[in-house]
């Protein structure tokens, strides 16, 4: 697997929606993100910056080979933890539409703590339905998680199992805020949600590759420690330390955006 990919673009309808109709603004920042606290203006910056990145990353991570585990299914269920404006979900749904022709319906539970982001996600998902053959039902849940107890309560409220658990650039926020009483948030998420996967289910984790001044550790190392020994087996991952993606859209005004993430696709061991 090549660690550096060709320059990617957004579908024209999605490019126009994000930047022309919804007002997304490209405004990259390398600082620690705590998106849950952002106001409407900051979320528009997020939409124009991180939505395209997550969309492109998701489309390359959820490959035909990765999704082939669901080739015999006509319906799928997805839980997105920290969905934000939904870039990874739209990328994932695009690939499901393309690579799994017998899948007819997808049920989504999308969780996030920022109401502005959730409203934008609903608008993007409504527009996506116009371009997809999939019948999509969704339950969007505003949540605030301050500690591991809140996560336990949430797990009791959201019942049932899922085919896919996905989380992009969300768990790093719990590291930044040290919200799990000093415990590794990746480990907590894996322990909580891996058992909720169906037998052939997948957990897809992607995150930034920065050094955390809170945990004094590189986030990819924290992610791997969180997965190891907690019932998961990595079936696909980026080569090396991270993977580099290049993309262009209206917001970059002809220049090329660069994003780097570490990612793992996990099954039950």
pLDDT in tens, 38-63: 778 889 999 999 999 999 999 999 99
Q: What is the pLDDT of residue 32?
A: 46
The answer for residues whose C-beta is within 8 angstroms of residue 179's C-beta and 6 or more apart is: 145, 146, 147, 148, 185
Closest to 217 measured CA to CA, from 255, 187, 259, 243: 187
In this prediction the pTM is 0.93
Domain ranges of the chain: 4-268
Q: With bands split at pLDDT 50, 70 and 90, how would you rate the model's confidence at 29?
A: low
Do residues 164 and 78 lie in contact, with contact meaning Cβ atoms separated by under 8 Å?
yes
To the question of domain 4-268 being in CATH 3.40.50.150, the answer is: yes
Do residues 261 and 206 lie in contact, with contact meaning Cβ atoms separated by under 8 Å?
yes
**Sole residue written with tokens 């799994």:** 100
């Amino acid at each position: 697997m090549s660690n550096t990919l060709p320059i990617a673009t957004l579908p024209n309808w999605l490019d126009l929606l994000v930047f022309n109709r919804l007002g997304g603004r490209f405004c990259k920042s390398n600082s620690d993100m705590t998106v849950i606290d952002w106001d409407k203006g900051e979320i528009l910056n997020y939409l124009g910056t991180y939505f395209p990145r997550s969309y492109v990353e998701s489309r390359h991570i959820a490959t035909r080979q990765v999704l082939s585990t669901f080739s015999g299914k006509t319906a799928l269920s997805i839980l997105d933890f920290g969905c934000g404006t939904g870039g990874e979900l739209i990328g994932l749904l695009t690939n499901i539409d393309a690579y799994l022709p017998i899948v007819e319906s997808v049920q989504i539970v999308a969780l996030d703590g920022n109401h502005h982001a959730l409203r934008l996600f609903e608008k993007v998902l409504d527009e996506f339905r116009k371009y997809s053959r999939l019948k999509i039902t969704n339950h969007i849940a505003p949540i605030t998680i301050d500690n591991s107890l809140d996560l336990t309560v949430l797990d009791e409220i959201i019942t049932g199992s899922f085919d896919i658990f996905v989380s992009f650039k969300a768990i790093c926020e719990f590291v930044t805020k040290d919200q799990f009483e000093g415990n590794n948030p990746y480990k907590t998420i894996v322990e909580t949600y891996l058992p909720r996967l169906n037998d052939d289910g997948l957990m897809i984790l992607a995150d930034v590759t920065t050094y955390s001044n809170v945990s004094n550790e590189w986030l990819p190392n924290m992610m791997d420690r969180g997965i190891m020994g907690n019932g998961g087996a990595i079936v696909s991952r980026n080569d090396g330390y991270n993977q580099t993606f290049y993309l262009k859209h209206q917001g970059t005004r002809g220049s090329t955006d660069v994003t780097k993430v570490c990612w793992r696709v996990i099954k039950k061991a």
